[in-house]
Each structure stands twice: as C-alpha cells, then as structure tokens.
A = this chain, B = another copy of it.
Amino acid sequence: MTADNSVNGTTSIAALNSPFIKALVLQIRGQDSYGFYRNWSDELILKAFVVPKKKKREIPIEGEVDAATQARILVFFRAIAARIEQETNLISQVVVDINHEGFGWALVFSGRLLLTVKTLRDAHRFGFESLEKLAEEGETFVQKGLDLVNRFPEVGKL
C-alpha cells in the first residue's frame, strides 16, 4: 500500500479486512474477465466507492446515471447477496432498477423474502464517506437480511 493509493487518508486495515469489503472485492475481481484490475490493490479498486460529501456536490444529477456508477451500485448489492448466501446457503437475487432521474430501487431477495429493500435517490452520486462507512453500511444490510432469514426461514426457501 503506497501513500498514492490511500483514500483521503481514512482507510484502515480493519475496514479492508471486514467480511463485507472482502465479499465486495471478490465480486469485482470475479467480474474482471479482462484482468483489468489484476495488479490493483483492493484499496485502489474500492476507491471509486468513496465519494465524500464535497465530491458528491460536484457530481451533476442531470441525465442518465453513468454506466460505471450503475455497475458500482449493482456490485454493492451483489456483495450483500453474496454475504447472506455465505451465511445461510440460500441463493439470493439482486434487482436494481434506476430511472433516468437517478431514482429507483435496489432489492435483494431469497425465495419470497426481501432481504434488502433500498430506495435510491440521486444515484449519480452513489458512494460512501469513507471505506469504513462503506464496510459499515454494507454490513448493516447484511445483518438486517440475516435477521430476516432467521425470523422467517420458511419464506426464504419458497
């Protein structure tokens, strides 16, 4: 890890080693068919997920949400699904639907049980204050999903 790669100085080894961040990196590397990220550190790969408030304000919310941002949103929720799969052995699906104004839904479900329900606004500006915040918010969704599976296992298996 070099100083050049550090993300606003907020990166900690703890966040990088959290189960959610590991799942997220795995999802991104797994889709990297052309080996584009092969020589990138995890931290560098995750850099685009960190969008502090000041930077957010600079991103225009007009026009279509760009493809890279849409891909980041999808992979964030796929990582949640992957973590829940790891813990429960239930297969999870992810559906993300964003309209032209950057509004929409992100859903993760198993069987007939919705593990994650997130309304999206200003999707153009999708990102997290820091790597810690990314790890934390991802893990919160995971825990909420796991809690639901534990309470309604039958619905998750439908």
Contacts and interface: CB of A to CB of B under 8 A. Distances in A.
Contacts of A115: 112
Count of chain copies: 2
Given A95-B97, A97-B95, A112 B107 contact: no
For the residues of A in contact with B, the DSSP-based class is strand
Interface size class of A (residues with CB under 8 A): 10 to 19
23 contacts: A93-B105, A95-B95, A95-B97, A95-B105, A96-B97, A97-B97, A107-B107, A107-B109, A109-B114, A109-B117, A111-B114, A112-B114, A112-B117, A112-B148, A113-B113, A113-B114, A113-B155, A114-B114, A148-B158, A152-B152, A152-B154, A152-B155, A155-B155
